[in-house]
Structures are given as C-alpha cells and as structure tokens.
Structure 1
Amino acid sequence: MPTSPPTLAVYVIQRLADLGLDKVFGVPGDYSFPIDDAVETVPGVDWVVSANELNAAYAADGYARLKGAAILTVTYGVGELSALNGVMGAKAHRLPVFVVVGEPSTRIQRSGLVTHHTLGDGVYGNFFALSSAAAGASAQLTPQNAVQEVERVISEALRLSMPGYFLIPEDLAGLPIIGEPVKGRPLSELTAVRSDPQELKAALAALGQVLAPATRVVALPTFLVARYGAVPELEAFLAQTGVSFATLPMDKGILDESHPAYLGMYNGRASTPGVQAWVEEADVVLDLGGVILEDLNSASWSSDLSRTRHVVIGPDFVKVGAKVFVQTALRDVLAGLASVCPVFEGAPTRPRPALLPASGAPTDAILNQSFYPRLQAMLRPRDLLVCETGGCNVHLPGMLLPEGVGYAADTLWGAIGWGTPAVLGLALGDASRRVVLVTGDGAHQISANELGVMGRYGVKPVIFVLNNGVYGIEIVLSETGHGYDDLAPWRYAELPYAMGCDRWLSKVVRTVDELDQAIAQLQTWDGAAYIEVVIPASESVPQPHAVEDNTYKLDTPS
C-alpha cells in the first residue's frame, strides 16, 4: 500500500536529517509552528531550544564545525533577523548551517492583511533578500517545487560550504509535497566538489614542476581543508613527504600541533619565533584552501609571501603562477600531491614551538602569564579549546596545543559573545570530547543566558570567565579611561546555579594558589565546571600608537 507523501515541513527536516544531523537549534515562533512540530515528528532529530535566536545561530555554528553542517530554525522577521549576525559568521567561516524559516501564510499575503513581525506596510518580501545574503543558496519553498529546490540548496550550500536558507509559508508547510521524495545520504558519503580528470592531471603536473627543484616546502593549511573533509589526505601527504606546516590564527587546530612537522603559528611579525622567516624564505609555499590575510590573521598585514612560489590549492581550483586549473577538488589534489612532491628526509633545523613557562607565587594575583601556562598544562588529549573573541585572542592563537587538542575560534567574523553558545553546539556535536572555553567577562555578558540551555541539555563544558570588569580588548585596541569600557559588576560564579545548573562545579579564584587548586579539582571532575578568574584590569594594556595606527590606518601618512 503506497504511503502518503510527507508534508513540506516534515520533508525539509527529514531531508536535512539525512545528512547525519541529529540536532535542530532554534527558537520556536508562531509562523514556524509547523516546522517546530516537524522537528518533533522526524525520527532521529532532537530540539535544542536556545535562549534567543542569536545564541541558536552561534550554537549551530559550533555544531557544524564538528558535524559538517547544522540545522537552525527560527520565525519570520524578528527571529531570522536576530539570528542573522550568527548566520553571517557561519558564512564567513564557511559553515553549511541550514536556516529554515516559517513566514505568514499565503492567504494572509494574498489578502493584503497587515500582521505582526512586519513593517506594517503589507509587504512580505522585506527580509528574504537579507537572509539570502547571509547564505550561499536560498529558496522560497512550495509543495510543488520542494523536491527540486531542496536538492539544489543542499548541493550548492555544500559545494560552497556556506549556509542554505529555506523560507516556508505557514499554510503551505502542512501540505503534502508533490513529487517523489528524495532519500539522502550522510555527509560522509557525499562529495561536495568533483574533479575533472583532465584538469586534475594537468594541475598535478604543474605542481610537480614547481615542487621538483625545491629544497624547502612549507604548507599553510587553512580551515577549508577541514570544511571539505580533506584532513586525512593532508595528514597522509605530510607523512609521505616530510613537508613542514604552519597555521595562521584563523586555521589553528585543524591538525594536531604535536605533529613533528608543525612549525608553529605564522602571523606576520607576531609569528612563533623563527616561523615568519622559515615560511617566507621557503622555495614553495603550499596554500591549502586559500589563506586569508586579514588584519588579525596577519598581524596587521605584516605577512609577506611575495618572495616565495606561492601556490594556491583551493576548494575547486589550483593556481600555479599564471596558470589556473578549475574543477579540481581539494581532496583529490591533496591525494595526488605526494606523487609529484619530493620527499624531505630527516629533521632539518627548523622552528619548533614550546610550552609556555608557568609563573606566579601562590599568593600573587592571577595575571596572563600565570593563567595561560596553567591552562595549557591542564589540557588533555581530545579536549576542544574554544577561544572567545576578545583579549584571549591575543594569547591563545600562539599557544602550543598539547597532543590531540582541537581548537575553535571566530577569528574572521570576530563577534564577541560567540563563544558561550558555540560551546553548546560543539559539546552536542561530539559528546565524547571535553569542551574548554576561555572567555572574557564582556563577551560573556552578551550571551551568558545560554548557560541555562547547557544545563537543560546536560552538556559538561569547562568554562573560564576572565573577570577584569572591563571590555579588555577595547582597551588593548584603544586606550584606558573610557566609561564605555566598564562592565556591570556581575557575580559570575553564581550564574550557573541561578540558571538551573545545579550540579556544576562553580567557584571564584583570585590568587595563583586558588587557580592551581581549581585546576587540580577539574582534572578529576566528571561534570560541568565554571571558574570565574579574577584578574586585574591593568592586564589590558593599550598597544603602542604606531601599532594601533598600523591596524586602523587613521593617521595622515608621513
């Protein structure tokens, strides 16, 4: 007996769940009720209801970093616009977050009625262009076009590794789709980009011509290597050839930093000692994915790759000198690269990053030089370290991660408040890993209400809140003495209990000894932990004016 076709809302959620996604992040809303209900109907997916839409978008961002994609659902207008900043961040960091939005019914729209969540002008297309701009592909769905359009948006979002956006009228969401439903496959079985054999062969030959005479080759793998599932191919290439690699701050953690070929951080003049010269004096630099020489990612544009043969192996192209090869998948190029690359035997004298030396007497106040080395020593294999945007972005990118430790940050988009909700998504994306967040108090105040959501869903992060009472990063980038840099004086360590996280370890530490005791307790603690680390406001020191102007280019050139 033939089965009835699924409703439009159920079909969209089911088709996205086919990718291997088991969580749907979001906030319910009236125009999205059929979508909200569909999440409860589709087997294998569970709701994760965030404190607000922006937090939900950040959580979806975190989940997508581990699972390869994510689902986010919010309501029309107020919901999707609240989430927009987080979705734009996912676009910047090339994460396929699928945003499913319910809008007022076609009956309301065709009747010209004015309803809530609008501008009161009877126009219902005001927000589609805005949300579409945050996506790599978008569609207004109907039962008639659903089968074709859902496949198009999924395929294009995965090809670009960017968000996809679906808009569904509330009355049509409950109607059955027209056409044969597609049963999808998990992300692990999909190929986002397929290579043209002729272009791939020619690209590898051109790469071989450049690599053959080289005596020093350095790889700069970017986060796109991870987005396109090419980390295994990269690891195999490094093992077969002995090529060294460094990472920029934006790309930290995509490979194990205990790897013998790891040089350290390449970030212009802020690089790990010796790394800038080693990279920029190489015969060939293999840019894997497309290095973004953004200000924070290049120490105010102080990186210089012009002296090298800078070869770009992008997601779907290869650039060798003036030659550009198209329709070449990153995974395929990396898989074939060892066959055209010399093998670099032995261990040449090259930079090696070192662990940070711990400092501070037991009764001393906690300073940056006493906190970060202890954090580094605390980390254990398979931990995932999350760096909030802010002052910790100055310290964590250059820190050598112990064996097996991953890393996540919002370096490019740079939204403060991203870290706390992202922890929720990361923890749900892989429950077997301990997620460790370092956040400043200013960023944390933006999204701290997501702590209650973590308690509700039983995730067990370790959160360090660095409390110095100010927007420290603003002081670093400007100067001291501004009232707008001062924060409301929260009692942070009381927040988990107030938000229902009753079984969390929560405490305040003010001295080096108290920090040591808390870390010792964490190493045997099997639950969530929240440590308020009180540090002096004086730890945020303005940059020299010349450095500041090099970042913002405000002074008249002399």
Structure 2
Amino acid sequence: MYTISDYLLDLLNYLNVKDVLGVPGDYNLSFLDHITRRSDMKWRGNMNELNAAYMADGYARQNGMAVLVTTFGVGELSAVNGLSGSQAEKVPVLEIVGTPTLAAQYDQKLIHHSLGDGNFEHFQNVHKELGFKVEAITKDDAISEINQVVKYVYENKQPGYLALPVDLTEMPVNPIFKQLIPSLFRNKNEPHDHLQNIEAISNQLKNSHHPILIIGEDVQRFHLQDVVRNFIINNDIPFADMIESKGIIDETLPQFIGTYNGSLSKDLTNQLINKSDLILLLGAILTDANTGGFTQSFNSQNTIDINAKRINFYSKIINYNEQNGFVNLIKIISQTSLSQSFPKGPHDSINNKLPVPSDKPITQDFYTSAMSNFIQSDDTVIAEQGTSLFALEQIKFPANVKFICQPLWSSIGFSFPATLGSQLANPKRRNVLSIGEGSLLMTIQEMGFAVKYDLKPIIFVIDNHGYSVERVIHGMHEPYNDVPALNYSLIPEAFGAKKNQYNYFDVRTEKELLMAMKSIENNSSQLSIVRVSMAASDAPEDLKEFGKIIAKQNKG
C-alpha cells in the first residue's frame, strides 16, 4: 500500500534529501517507521529539537534542502529558534510536525503536549506569525497541501511547516502521484515583466565609470554563483562580498577587492567603495552585522539594490510579479557586455604569510594568521558569531571554500550542529569549525551525534573564559559573561568515542597551535578538537570596534 507518508518522503528524496533529522515523539513515530524502512533515506536522531533545527540549517546550506521531524507542542516550540534563524538567513528547511489525531483535535480533547484548552492551532499560529509557510495535512487535499509547502520551501529558500496528524500517516494515496513529482519542479518559461527595469539597470552599468558589485547570500541560495562569476570575469568588473557571502564568488579572482563591512572594512576596500559611482548590490541584505553597525559609505544616490524580495532602484521600490523574478533578472543583467575598463586595487588581506611562531601565548591576531594558512581549497569553513566570525572575516579564502555563518540571527551555539549537518550532507568536504567555548556549551550534546555517525569535523574551540562578544559590548569583567570551564579532553569519550576515533590538542602557545594544525593536516581521517587558550580580554580589532558601535547604539 502506497501511503501519504511514502509520497512525502518520495518528494523529499527527489530533492536530494537523504537524511532526516529530528527527535522522536509519540505523534510522529508511525511516520518515522516509513523513514527507517527505506533504503534511500536515513533517520538521524538528535539530542534535542533546537539542535536538530540548527543541524538542518547546516545540511540545507550544503545540500540545498533539509528536513527535520518534531512532535506537537513541546518539540516544535523547541525547534522554533533554529527555524527562525533559517527564516532570517533564507535557508530552505522543512519541519514536519507529528500532531494528534484529527478526531482528538475536532473534539478538543485535553491531551498531553497541548495547553489544555482544546485549541490545537496555537503552535501553527506561532509559525505563521514568524512568516513560515504553514500547511496542515487533511484527508481531502493531502497531496496538494504537501506540494504547496515543499515547493515553497525549495523555490523561495525559506522554511516551511507541515502538520501531519498521526492517524493520517497510513492514509493510502494513488501511486501515480509519485510519477508526477518531476513535473512540479520543471522550469516554466514565464514572460519577464521587468524588461524596462533591466534596460535601465544595464544602461546605468554601461554609463558608470567606477561600478562595484557587492555580492550577497541570495546569489548562492538561488544557485547564481556561476552566472555572476562569468559576468564579473567577462567584464573585468570589481566586486566585494560581505560576511555571510564570503567565498560565494572566488576570492582569488583579480577582480576581488575585499570583504565589505562598513567602516570596519580594510582601508583599500573602503577607498574603492568610496570612489564608486555605482554600487550594485546583488542579493545582499544590509544589516548591522554586515555594515559595521550601519556605517556603509554608499547611499540611495549611487546604489541599485537587487535581492530576492524586490528591486530598489535609486530608492524606487519595484516588486517582482513572477515566481522566479530575482533569478530571471540576475541572469539577464549578467548578459550585459561592458566595454569600458574599471579601476581596481590589491586587496589588503591579513593573509598569505604566516609569522614565525614562538613560545608566546596565542593571540587573536596570530590565530587569524594561522587559520588563513590552514584553510584549504574545497573546505567548508563554519564560524560562530563573535570572535570566530570577526577573526575569519578578513581572510581571503582559497578557491571553492564554502563559508557558513549566521550574522543576522546570531544565535550562539548554532555553528556546531550546523557543522555536523553540513558534513552529513557532504562527507567528502573537510569541515573546519571555529567556535568559542561559551557557544559550544549551548549545543555540545551533539558530540554524541558526531560520534554515532562517525563524522570528522575539525573543531577549534577558542577558550577565552566566557562570552567575548558580549564582553566587548558591555561587562568586560562582569560575572554574567563568564562560563564554566570544561575538561575538553574528556568530552569525546564521555559521548562514546573510542580513543582511535578522535584527536585532541590543548594548545596555549603559537608553536603548539601550528604543531596541532600540522598534525591534523597529516591525519584528517579523525574527528579533531583543538582547544585554543586565549586571554579573556583578547578579541579581534574589528569586533572591538563593532562592540563600541553596538554599545553606543544601545544607549539610544
């Protein structure tokens, strides 16, 4: 018998989802049976639902789509923070929520995991309020409801919510629906209704003497990297990226002028941006975290801003009327041929040459230099918000490095599960995580997941005795920014690892850090944890400046 559960999983499998994350609960167990009976998908159980949502986010960034399963009420509310991060950062994650039977909901029974008021729509309404696409599967229109939410998640790169009543998991449906799945995702040749705007944007580029592209994360989310890269190379046009879009376009290209972060950017990057007569933002969202606290030097007078939601043409807002408006627009604009040559300059990157190591304690500056030499082509680099993100921000990455961070939502603890999700999606890539010990404490339970599924990330734990990102904003010596000190050497075995499954390094000096990195390079077939001790007051200079800006803004 072919069931609605089978159809839903066939649809997700078609979108290359091979691993389903989440936590079992009595309202989703019968659905999980359908996963565990398949040979083309695996159930990957998490320690809690928040971690599952973080991990699904990392999986989707690497794979293009992710799914997690939670139970009604207690499970879905635990996951909602992680899914909100996917909403803010535009990551396609589908949450499937096992709910009580339709009869129990109709009769308003006072059952467990509810608020005891007979209303079963509270939690769906929470997700609606946060902007998620929400559908609840019914007997009469199940296929359509599933198709709507899955297509929305996949095409719009935003999370979705699908409620699956426990008594519908075995509902039979016609197997013919499986054969129709490919037709749901065929590209339609829709007429483009922005031809006039395309011509206007192209003309502005052709008439500009010093245009600069600033690349945002939408370029990657909608798989436009190759299109934009060819546009840059064919026209020799200078470009910058932002924190969250680092590496989307190869930073080794001669047209790259640096990572832009408002006044915190490197001097040469800022000089070139300041001289530009046209800033073309492609898929970027200007937040406090990627503009140095809104200190960007350009304004509406010289900026055309194109992202997945709308066009801002010199302050004139233009909305898309067709489904693939953003994708179509970028593809057509990228065909523009520019005849003029544009000034560029070398990127002043803290990169390339590693200082001679000594027996001195490790500083943030030395750590950044060491990481710039450790990161290799084809790595996936994951940075936690705070010292890690600001340390890696100005490194010029080798070719084909994928960078995962969460600067807008900035939920600390995100990066460790996201790393595991990323590696689960593509075990062939080396995953390098830089995380503070305060953040790791939030989600360290998933070390058991890493051990169970034999994942082998390289984890640099910056141990600087607390929440450094908070210290530089307010309370450098206050106890609320302290965290417990762990013995990290015991963590892998505490979560079930055998001694031959992992490498552990405790480093305090520059020489010890480089020796650990060299050892990992020679043996990357194991989970590696490097505890990097630093002074509590040490932080990247950009983070210190950002902290001053935020502290000032917080005072009103």
SS at 2:289's partner residue?
A: coil
Of residues 291, 308, 311, the one that matches 2:304 is 311
User: Within 5 A, what are the aligned runs for 1:101-120?
Assistant: 101-120=97-116
Structure-2 separation of matches of 1:96 and 1:366:
38
Q: Is the 8 A contact 2:192 2:325 kept in 1?
A: no
Q: Corresponding residue for 2:58?
A: 62
Instruction: Identify the range of structure 1 (428-437 vs 393-402) with the bigger mean alpha-carbon deviation.
Output: 393-402
Q: Is the 8 A contact 2:35 2:41 kept in 1?
A: yes
The alpha carbon displacement at 1:331 in A equals 3.3
- The one-letter code of the counterpart of 2:287 is E
Of residues 491, 496, 499, the one that matches 2:495 is 499
Structure-1 separation of matches of 2:545 and 2:266:
23
- The one-letter code of the counterpart of 2:292 is A
Q: Is the 8 A contact 2:293 2:549 kept in 1?
A: no
Q: Corresponding residue for 1:298?
A: 291
Q: Corresponding residue for 1:159?
A: 155
Of residues 213, 233, 239, the one that matches 1:245 is 239
- Provide structure 1 residue ranges, at least 5 long, that are not aligned to the other structure: none
Structure-2 separation of matches of 1:378 and 1:184:
47
Q: Does 1:259 align with 2:258?
A: no
Of residues 415, 426, 431, the one that matches 2:427 is 431
SS at 2:460's partner residue?
A: strand
Structure-2 separation of matches of 1:356 and 1:24:
40
Q: Does 1:199 align with 2:193?
A: yes
Q: Corresponding residue for 1:386?
A: 382
Q: Normalising by structure 1, what TM-score?
A: 0.92
- 1:335-359 per-residue CA deviation (whole Å, 9 max, x = no partner) reads 3324434145487445453516544
Q: Is the 8 A contact 2:285 2:307 kept in 1?
A: no
Structure-2 separation of matches of 1:32 and 1:236:
46
Structure-2 separation of matches of 1:307 and 1:133:
31
- The one-letter code of the counterpart of 1:466 is I
Q: Corresponding residue for 2:313?
A: 320
Instruction: Identify the range of structure 1 (158-167 vs 197-206) with the bigger mean alpha-carbon deviation.
Output: 197-206
User: Within 5 A, what are the aligned runs for 1:109-508?
Assistant: 109-134=105-130, 136-177=132-173, 180-183=176-179, 191=187, 196-289=190-283, 291-306=284-299, 309-315=302-308, 317-321=310-314, 322=316, 324=318, 326=320, 327=322, 329-345=325-341, 348-349=344-345, 351-355=347-351, 358-359=354-355, 361-502=357-498, 503-508=501-506
The alpha carbon displacement at 1:177 in A equals 3.3
Structure-2 separation of matches of 1:323 and 1:549:
29
Q: Is the 8 A contact 2:255 2:344 kept in 1?
A: no
Structure-1 separation of matches of 2:246 and 2:151:
28
User: Aligned pair in 2 of structure 1 residues 179, 125: CA closer, same or farther (>3 Å)?
Assistant: farther
The alpha carbon displacement at 1:82 in A equals 0.6
The alpha carbon displacement at 1:108 in A equals 2.4
The alpha carbon displacement at 1:498 in A equals 1.4
Q: Is the 8 A contact 1:200 1:325 kept in 2?
A: no
SS at 2:537's partner residue?
A: helix
Q: Is the 8 A contact 2:7 2:178 kept in 1?
A: no
- 1:229-264 per-residue CA deviation (whole Å, 9 max, x = no partner) reads 111111111121111110121222212211221111
Q: Is the 8 A contact 2:292 2:546 kept in 1?
A: no
Q: Corresponding residue for 1:11?
A: 7
- The one-letter code of the counterpart of 2:503 is L
User: Aligned pair in 2 of structure 1 residues 89, 546: CA closer, same or farther (>3 Å)?
Assistant: closer
- 1:28-49 per-residue CA deviation (whole Å, 9 max, x = no partner) reads 1111112211211344111111
Structure-2 separation of matches of 1:362 and 1:273:
29
Structure-2 separation of matches of 1:481 and 1:424:
33
Q: Is the 8 A contact 1:237 1:334 kept in 2?
A: no
- Provide structure 2 residue ranges, at least 5 long, that are not aligned to the other structure: none
Structure-1 separation of matches of 2:16 and 2:263:
42
User: Aligned pair in 2 of structure 1 residues 554, 315: CA closer, same or farther (>3 Å)?
Assistant: closer
Structure-2 separation of matches of 1:349 and 1:394:
23
Q: Corresponding residue for 1:533?
A: 532
User: Aligned pair in 2 of structure 1 residues 229, 109: CA closer, same or farther (>3 Å)?
Assistant: same
The alpha carbon displacement at 1:19 in A equals 1.1
- 1:300-337 per-residue CA deviation (whole Å, 9 max, x = no partner) reads 11003227531123336544334736336333333332
Q: Corresponding residue for 1:31?
A: 27
Q: Corresponding residue for 1:95?
A: 91
Q: Is the 8 A contact 2:250 2:400 kept in 1?
A: yes
User: Aligned pair in 2 of structure 1 residues 195, 299: CA closer, same or farther (>3 Å)?
Assistant: farther
The alpha carbon displacement at 1:271 in A equals 0.7
Q: Normalising by structure 2, what TM-score?
A: 0.92
Structure-2 separation of matches of 1:445 and 1:323:
43
The alpha carbon displacement at 1:158 in A equals 2.9
Structure-2 separation of matches of 1:101 and 1:419:
24
User: Aligned pair in 2 of structure 1 residues 35, 131: CA closer, same or farther (>3 Å)?
Assistant: farther
SS at 1:537's partner residue?
A: coil
Q: Corresponding residue for 1:21?
A: 17
SS at 2:368's partner residue?
A: helix
User: Aligned pair in 2 of structure 1 residues 188, 210: CA closer, same or farther (>3 Å)?
Assistant: farther
Instruction: Identify the range of structure 1 (121-130 vs 377-386) with the bigger mean alpha-carbon deviation.
Output: 121-130
Structure-1 separation of matches of 2:266 and 2:189:
36
Structure-2 separation of matches of 1:546 and 1:374:
23
- The one-letter code of the counterpart of 2:489 is A
Q: Is the 8 A contact 1:273 1:351 kept in 2?
A: no
User: Aligned pair in 2 of structure 1 residues 135, 15: CA closer, same or farther (>3 Å)?
Assistant: farther
User: Aligned pair in 2 of structure 1 residues 331, 446: CA closer, same or farther (>3 Å)?
Assistant: same
Count, aligned residues: 549
Q: Is the 8 A contact 2:473 2:550 kept in 1?
A: no
- 1:256-304 per-residue CA deviation (whole Å, 9 max, x = no partner) reads 2112211111111101222123123212211112x32211111111003
SS at 2:177's partner residue?
A: coil
Q: Does 1:519 align with 2:499?
A: no
SS at 2:288's partner residue?
A: coil
Instruction: Identify the range of structure 1 (444-453 vs 486-495) with the bigger mean alpha-carbon deviation.
Output: 486-495
SS at 2:28's partner residue?
A: helix
User: Aligned pair in 2 of structure 1 residues 545, 361: CA closer, same or farther (>3 Å)?
Assistant: closer
User: Aligned pair in 2 of structure 1 residues 347, 295: CA closer, same or farther (>3 Å)?
Assistant: closer
- The one-letter code of the counterpart of 1:303 is Q
- 1:37-85 per-residue CA deviation (whole Å, 9 max, x = no partner) reads 1211344111111111111101100010011110110111111111110
User: Aligned pair in 2 of structure 1 residues 545, 255: CA closer, same or farther (>3 Å)?
Assistant: closer
SS at 2:122's partner residue?
A: coil
User: Aligned pair in 2 of structure 1 residues 449, 190: CA closer, same or farther (>3 Å)?
Assistant: farther
- 1:432-487 per-residue CA deviation (whole Å, 9 max, x = no partner) reads 11000000000000001111101111111100111122111110111322111111
- The one-letter code of the counterpart of 1:262 is F
User: Aligned pair in 2 of structure 1 residues 217, 308: CA closer, same or farther (>3 Å)?
Assistant: farther
Q: Corresponding residue for 1:548?
A: 548
- The one-letter code of the counterpart of 2:195 is K
User: Aligned pair in 2 of structure 1 residues 486, 360: CA closer, same or farther (>3 Å)?
Assistant: farther
Structure-2 separation of matches of 1:449 and 1:145:
39
The alpha carbon displacement at 1:112 in A equals 3.6
Q: Is the 8 A contact 2:210 2:342 kept in 1?
A: no
Structure-2 separation of matches of 1:394 and 1:365:
20
